[in-house]
Amino acid sequence: MTTFEIASLTINTISSVAIVASAIYVALQFRRAAKIHAQNLEWNKRIETRKKLDDYNRLDSALYLNERFKFVGRKHSVPIDEITKAIEDDHQVEVHLSRLLNYYEAIALGIENNFYDEYIVKSTRRGAMIRTFTAFEEYIAYDRREHSPMTYIKYEAIVKKWIDEERKEQGLPPTGKVCQCKSVSVDGYTFCSSVC
C-alpha cells in the first residue's frame, strides 16, 4: 500500500466515523426535541384547561340557575315540569341553562379530544359538573327528545365515567350507563345517537 492509499483510507475511515457520530448526534437531538415538544404540548394543554376553567368565574349562569332551582343542594333532578314552567315565565332560564350546559359540554369535548387536561378539570370542577348534570338530567333528556339526540352527550359520558370511577374506589358496582356516541345515518345525514 502506498502512502497515498493509506492516507486516503485513513481519511475515509475518519469521515465514516464522523458521519456515524453526526447521525447519532442528530438522532439524539430529534429525540430531545420530541421530548421537549411533548412537554410543551402538555404544558399548553394545562394552560388552556386553566383558561377554560377560569371562564366559569365569569359565567353567571350557575348562580342564576341556583337561585331559581336551588340545585346545588339537591340529590335528584329538577322535575322537567318545573323547568319548562320556569322557561315559560322567564326565557332567561333557558338561556342560562343552555349556556351552563354548553360550557360543560365544551369542557368534556376538550377532554375527549385531548385539548384539556382531565386531571385538572376533575380536581377542580368534578363536583360541580356532577351536581349540575344530576340536577338537570331530566332537562337534558327532554332537550335530546325535542332537538337532537346528541345534545350534551360528551358531558354525560364524562360525568358517568367519573361517577363509575368513584363507585369503583368505594367497592361498589358501576352504574352501567356510560353513554357513548354511535353514528346513525338517516336520509343521507349522519349524526350521533346516544348509546347508554
At a CB cut-off of 8 Å and minimum separation 6, what does 179 contact? Answer: 153, 156, 157, 160, 194, 195, 196
Pick from 144, 74, 131: nearest CA to 100: 131
Long-range contact list for 48-51, CB < 8 A, 24+ apart? 48/110, 48/115, 48/116, 49/110, 49/116, 49/117, 49/120, 49/121, 50/120
Domain ranges of the chain: 1-43, 59-195
Q: Which residues pair with 193 in a beta bridge?
A: 182
The cell 329538577 sits on which residue? 78
pLDDT, tens only, 38-61? 888 888 888 888 777 777 766 788
At a CB cut-off of 8 Å and minimum separation 6, what does 62 contact? Answer: 56, 100, 128, 132
pLDDT, tens only, 175-192? 755 455 555 555 555 545
Q: Which residues pair with 190 in a beta bridge?
A: 185
Burial class (CB in 10 A: 0-12, 13-18, 19+), 21: exposed
pLDDT tens-place values along the chain, 196 residues long: 788 888 888 999 999 999 999 999 999 999 998 998 888 888 888 888 877 777 776 678 888 999 999 988 888 899 999 999 999 999 999 999 999 999 999 999 999 998 899 999 999 999 999 999 999 999 999 999 999 899 999 999 999 999 999 888 888 787 755 455 555 555 555 545 444 4
End-to-end CA distance of the chain: 81
Q: Report yes or no: 45 and 114 within 8 Å, Cβ to Cβ.
A: yes
